[in-house]
Chains A and B, each alone.
Chain A
Amino acid sequence: AQKVTQAQTEISVVEKEDVTLDCVYETRDTTYYLFWYKQPPSGELVFLIRRNSFDEQNEISGRYSWNFQKSTSSFNFTITASQVVDSAVYFCALSEAPGAGSYQLTFGKGTKLSVIP
């Protein structure tokens, strides 16, 4: 069974600090996909990134970076120089590959990030 654990329930940082959001997953599949979504106070779910299990390269997009390590089943998300607009709940999610279902997302419980000015 799939499982996604986001151990940090809430994090508060002061603006311009760096912050890392942890995500640990469990799956028996060798092929799977990992995602991060942002849910700002307005409530919508905003797609941030998708990685497949064969691509362990770290990715950087502006102030955002992601560290995928299969050896520790982790897919961590770092925000550099945080801003107030980064305040949101961030969800990590897992999807399994063909033959195992319909690619539905299994979400973690989310980490609420508060960036204090």
Chain B
Amino acid sequence: EPEVTQTPSHQVTQMGQEVILRCVPISNHLYFYWYRQILGQKVEFLVSFYNNEISEKSEIFDDQFSVERPDGSNFTLKIRSTKLEDSAMYFCASSRRQGGEQYFGPGTRLTVT
């Protein structure tokens, strides 16, 4: 069964460093999302992406964040200069249709020290 994959599973970085989180969505899906979950809290929307552009972003997704679909399979989230409060689990999700079920990857745990 197709699934969303994410790498790395765990990333430790120092404050101020850039990180890139990678995702491979399900191959016939068209809508892509990033969410994050701070430990013990609810899952929060960051950004959605369709047709090679951002369709919506939350207040969390400030100028330090960017997303890219560099080729036909990968979908990346870049944090330009990490802060301590960026420590969280980051989930990628994809969906085949608008409003359809979103399938999540296993997540990348980002720890900023």
Whether A45 contacts B91 in the complex (CB less than 8 A), given A95-B99, A103-B31, comes out as: yes
| B99 and A43 form a contact (CB under 8 A) | no
Q: Is B75 on the interface with A (CB-CB < 8 A)?
A: no
| A43 and B89 form a contact (CB under 8 A) | yes
Minimal Cβ-Cβ distance residue in A for B106: A44
Q: How far is the CB of A113 from chain B (nearest CB, A)?
A: 15
Q: How far is the CB of A95 from chain B (nearest CB, A)?
A: 6
| A43 and B107 form a contact (CB under 8 A) | yes
Counting residue pairs across A and B whose Cβ atoms lie within 8 Å, the total is 63
Tally B residues with Cβ within 8 Å of A: 27
Minimal Cβ-Cβ distance residue in B for A4: B42
Q: How far is the CB of A61 from chain B (nearest CB, A)?
A: 14
| A50 and B100 form a contact (CB under 8 A) | yes
